[in-house]
């Protein structure tokens, strides 16, 4: 299924490259500008690396590093020069790209956001991380849901970020909305290695989806990120995976058409269908209720664990206890294919 990493691309294939980007140090606007340029250079490397590549994926924190700084001068906007540079790089190299930004939020803490940009420079997907890695991360909880977009060669793409992937509901939501390829970008360090692998595989199998996941790589002198880009097939098997070599691009040809075939034709283990059609052999159409207490309680605003939880804010990691309440979902601000800044056509 990997097509020798995409070297032998089929007419139904989508070739994806996962960049095990060197963990950067970004503490000043000058370093932010330099890292923006570095990412754009690696978009070019991806295209030169493989002419068949459709989409290149950069890890979470690729632009900002792991400092957790919320300094206003380092935060990014959709209209800013960093995103404009990413859009231009996708045009120049005729490739789709997935990028990570820490996004300025005038109403609170910054968002940890992800973008999928097509080969014309249009932003096709804009996502704010729903589940920051608390208590370590200071980011505002996302409020735009889990978006899905049309991707290259007729595929359906979604993006979840790092800790999101530890919640089975996240990949399930993406698949329920039609995603065939679920991207997961991360900055994880070595203690998460085992959980990273098994959740990438479980998210694929439980949803009959392909998962494509990548972390930052190398050391910034304080933290050691693990790289370990990996592709998992919809049966939960690993298609291919990387190790800890910085800036290596792990590639595979993915087959969304086989995902669609499995979702339609599988009987045994078609779990995303069977979730709402329990026991359809015994009763017509299966049971179509919601037997899960936690789902009812979340919807009713009464979610309560039957045990005590000690860590419920960021004070163990040096953050002040918050005083603001969550405002809830908002209308998605992205206008499909809107030009944020003029984009030049590739020569």
Catalytic residues: 60, 129, 162
Question: Are the beta carbons of 215 and 20 closer than 8 angstroms?
Answer: yes
For the chain, give percent helix, strand, coil, nearest 5.
30, 20, 50
The 3-state DSSP class for residue 185 equals: strand
Of 144, 44, 55, the C-alpha closest to 103 is 144
The DSSP line for 65-117 is BTS----GGG-B-TTSHHHHHHHHHHHHTT-EEEEEEEE--TTSSPEEEEEEE
Distance CA 283, CA 311 (A): 45
CA atoms 162, 167, 173, 175: torsion sign? positive
Question: Are the beta carbons of 186 and 154 closer than 8 angstroms?
Answer: no
């Amino acid at each position: 299924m990997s097509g020798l990493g995409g070297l032998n691309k089929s007419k139904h294939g989508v070739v994806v490259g996962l960049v095990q980007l060197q963990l950067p140090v970004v503490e000043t606007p000058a370093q932010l500008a330099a890292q923006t340029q570095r990412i754009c250079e690696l978009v070019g490397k991806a295209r030169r690396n493989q002419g068949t590549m459709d989409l290149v994926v950069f890890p979470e924190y690729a632009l900002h590093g792991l400092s957790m700084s919320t300094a206003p001068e380092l935060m990014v906007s959709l209209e800013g020069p960093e995103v404009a540079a990413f859009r231009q790089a996708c045009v120049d190299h005729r490739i789709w790209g997935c990028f990570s930004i820490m996004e300025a939020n005038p109403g609170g803490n910054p968002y940890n956001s992800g973008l999928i940009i097509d080969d014309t420079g249009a932003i096709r997907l804009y996502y704010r991380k729903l589940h920051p890695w608390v208590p370590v991360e200071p980011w505002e909880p996302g409020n735009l849901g889990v978006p899905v977009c049309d991707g290259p060669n007729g595929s359906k793409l979604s993006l979840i970020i790092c800790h999101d992937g530890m919640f089975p509901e996240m990949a399930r939501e993406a698949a329920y909305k039609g995603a065939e390829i679920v991207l997961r970008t991360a900055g994880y360090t070595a203690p998460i290695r085992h959980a990273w692998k098994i959740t990438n595989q479980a998210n694929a199998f439980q949803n009959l989806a392909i998962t494509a996941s990548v972390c930052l790589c190398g050391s910034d002198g304080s933290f050691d990120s693990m790289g370990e880009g990996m592709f998992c097939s919809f049966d939960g098997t690993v298609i291919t995976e990387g190790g800890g070599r910085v800036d290596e691009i792990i590639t595979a040809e993915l087959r969304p058409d086989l995902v669609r075939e499995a979702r339609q034709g599988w009987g045994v283990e078609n779990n995303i269908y069977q979730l709402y059609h329990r026991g359809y052999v015994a009763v017509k159409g299966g049971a179509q209720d919601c037997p899960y207490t936690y789902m009812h309680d979340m919807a009713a605003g009464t979610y309560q664990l039957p045990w005590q939880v000690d860590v419920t804010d960021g004070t163990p990691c040096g953050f002040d206890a918050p005083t603001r309440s969550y405002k809830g979902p908002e209308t998605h601000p992205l206008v499909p294919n809107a030009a944020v800044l003029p984009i030049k056509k590739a020569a």
